[in-house]
Amino acid sequence: MRKAERGGTALLRRGTCLALWALLALGTAHGPAGAGEAAHGTELRILHTNDTHAHLAGVDDRGQACFADERCRGGMSRIAAAIDAARREGDNVLALDAGDQFQGTLFYAVEKWPVLAAFDRRMPYDAMTLGNHEFDEGCGALRQFLDAQPIPVLAANLAPERGCPLFGSRIRPFLVRIVQGEAVGIVGLANDRVTAQAQACPHTLFRDAAQSLRQAVTELEARGVRRIVALSHLGLPADRELARQVDGVDVIVGGHTHAWLGPGSDTGPYPLVERSPAGLPVLVVTAALATRYIGDLSVSFDARGIPVRWRGGPRELTPESPRREDISALTAQHAAVLERYRAQRVGRHAVDMPDGLEACRAGECFGGLLLADALLDVARPRGADMALVNAGSIRAAIPPGEVSRGQLLAAIPFGNEVVLREYTGGQLLRALEHGVAGEDGRGPALLQPSGLRYVVDASRPSGSRIVSAEVLPPSGEAEPLAAEGRYRVALPAYLARGGDGYDMLREGRPLPLKAVKDVDAAEAYLKAHSPLTRMSASRIRRAGTGE
């Protein structure tokens, strides 16, 4: 029987919902479960991570990736220790990872998927799903990763065709765990934009997420499973919408948008409580990124499998938090492999401006402008007017001081070829609009420019946010970007292929350019300008904000 039908009639269901929400009005279950049905149900404790992005040793106080975990926050050894400790405390623990283990630090830039598989073989997760970055090296490399590690991988919406290396792999739609004698279903939902955002092959097909989730819930309920958790890498807005669209789901553990929930959050409390179509509570959680936090949610169910009380929040893993010695030793072993990259100095800079993964998605940042300047420097002899770099291509900050080859590889890890294309001004204006189409005009598609500046008003409707755009010649006055004009643009091959939804950038006319990788261009630029003491700013301005 579906959860929406438990209780017999719509009137009874409505009464049940009103009673439940009356409980919520009194407080969201701080303390032990109350009397009545909740006391005779099950309490499930879910520990969860997402978007760990190869931060195997955690992060320092500035949010930069560490290479030794002793004095840092987070890291895989602390996550494993936290899960192990919870399991010693009770037999009701599920440990889940919501995807994007790939990409983000020098560990991954140098060793790729094998280093993550080595850690996963020791991590006490019950299940994981796939993020968009799991597809960065293509489906063949992902298949090797899946075959090399034991964690069950769930993706109900992934439907690879014959011809895709993932066809016939060990990915499954859901699994069932027995917790305190009760069956708990876990349904995976992989990121479904990987053909645009990563290197998934054309045979990597996806079904509609809501339809896939409904089908999985139907199958689980037919088996008598009444407690269901969705494990998603679709992003928080999509997770909240799924909670409102699909009956039978109790908890959605998510990732992708790096959202922080809890005290001080602009997004909302932990958990966010949505209502299913039947009016029942659906708890939506996520735990930021980079291993600094582990989400810890306890849910009490009544005898019918409906959540009635809950408590918890994201827990910061501080330097004082316990570590698991075997994983700390594994971290040290792999960190030693990186020493030669960290020791190879390529230049120095003294530019004080925002930088790093989140900063580059919010506005102009040092790494984004550095890379854009480097691409323009490479292509200027071939007549380039400007360069464009998507913010999502910058994965880490490059702090002021000595810069190593390792820092550049961590910040610019994708190894994109630099290409030269000719576009009309109209195509470029469409590209700029696409870059600021996200919430508040921010996100991984935001374009970091060189030889160009633009003003954005995020209060306007998406598609009409670019207030002005001007070309900046090497000498002379700025000139408006003319819709009918033609411009030569240096950019990563990823964007020229239409990555990040930039279909309009596929339309450019290819021009000859000597082959060079983006990170190598950045290294050559930094060497040539070291010490780099200043960088022209105000290339991205926000109307009415002073930014």
DSSP state of 37: G
For residues 500 and 466, the model is more confident at 466
Q: What pLDDT, in 10s, does the model give residues 176-203? A: 999 999 999 999 999 998 776 667 888 8
- 376 HSE (CA, 13 A, CB side): 21
pLDDT given at position 6: 45
Helix or strand (DSSP H, E) at 343:
helix 339-343
Q: Of 446, 489, 445, 498, nearest to 471 (Cα)?
A: 489
CA distance 7 to 255: 34
For 317-332, how does the pLDDT look when each residue is reduced to its tens digit (9 = 90+)? 999 999 999 999 999 9
Write down the mean pLDDT value for the chain.
91
Q: What is the pLDDT of residues 301-354, one digit of tens each?
A: 998 999 999 999 999 999 999 999 999 999 999 999 999 999 999 999 999 999
- pTM over 0.75, yes/no: yes
What would the CATH number be for the domain defined by 345-542? 3.90.780.10
Residue 286 backbone class (left: φ over 0; alpha: ψ -120 to 50; beta: rest): beta
Query: DSSP string spanning 79-103?
Result: HHHHHHHHHHH-S-EEEEE-S--SS
Task: For 28-76, write each residue's pLDDT tens digit.
Answer: 443 333 333 444 578 999 999 999 999 999 999 988 999 999 999 999 9
Over residues 275-294, the mean pLDDT reads: 98
Alpha carbons 396 and 393: distance in angstroms, whole number? 9
Token digits of residue 178 = 């027995």
H/E element holding 466?
Answer: strand 466-471
Q: Please provide the DSSP assignment of 373-442 as one string.
A: HHHHHHHGGGT--EEEEEGGG--S---SEEEEHHHHHHHS-S-PBEEEEEEEHHHHHHHHHHHT-SGGG-
Above 90 in pLDDT, residue 13?
no
pLDDT of residue 24: 34
Segment 427-454 mean pLDDT: 96
| Locus of tokens 């004698």 | 181
3-335: CATH, from 3.40.50.1820, 3.40.50.970, 3.60.21.10, 3.30.420.40: 3.60.21.10
Helices (H), 121-169: 139-148
Q: How many CB atoms lie within 10 A of CB 161?
A: 12
Which one, of 48, 89, 119, 43, lies nearest residue 315 by Cα? 48
Comparing CA positions, the residue from 484, 491, 477 lying closest to residue 449 is 491
Q: Domain map of the chain by residue range? A: 3-335, 345-542
Distance CA 452, CA 444 (A): 19
How far CA 430 is from CA of 143, 387, 436, 465, 507, in Å, comes to: 36, 15, 10, 11, 12
Under the banding of pLDDT at 50, 70 and 90, the label for residue 3 is low
Q: How far apart are CA 119 and CA 518, in angstroms?
A: 29
The answer to whether residues 469 and 409 touch, using CB atoms and an 8 Å cutoff, is no
Dist. CA 389–CA 396, nearest whole Å: 15
With residue 19 as reference, give the H or E element that holds it. helix 10-25
Please tell me the distance from the alpha carbon of residue 182 to that of residue 69, in angstroms, as a whole number: 37
Give me the mean pLDDT over the 151-161 stretch.
Answer: 96
Contacts for 502-510: CB closer than 8 Å, 24+ residues apart:
502/390, 502/431, 502/434, 502/445, 504/427, 504/430, 504/431, 504/434, 505/421, 505/423, 505/427, 505/431, 507/423, 507/427, 508/421, 508/422, 508/423, 508/427, 509/421, 509/422, 509/423, 510/419, 510/420, 510/421
Cα 365 off chain centre by: 19
Mean pLDDT value across residues 411-434: 97
**How far is it, in rounded angstroms, from Cα 211 to Cα 204?**
18
Q: Which two tokens stand for residue 1?
A: 């029987």
For position 29, what pLDDT does the model report?
45
Q: What integer is the mean pLDDT of 98-102?
A: 97
Looking at residue 544, what is its pLDDT?
A: 74
Could you tell me which residues come within 8 angstroms of residue 499 by beta carbon, excluding any fewer than 6 positions away?
A: 196, 197, 390
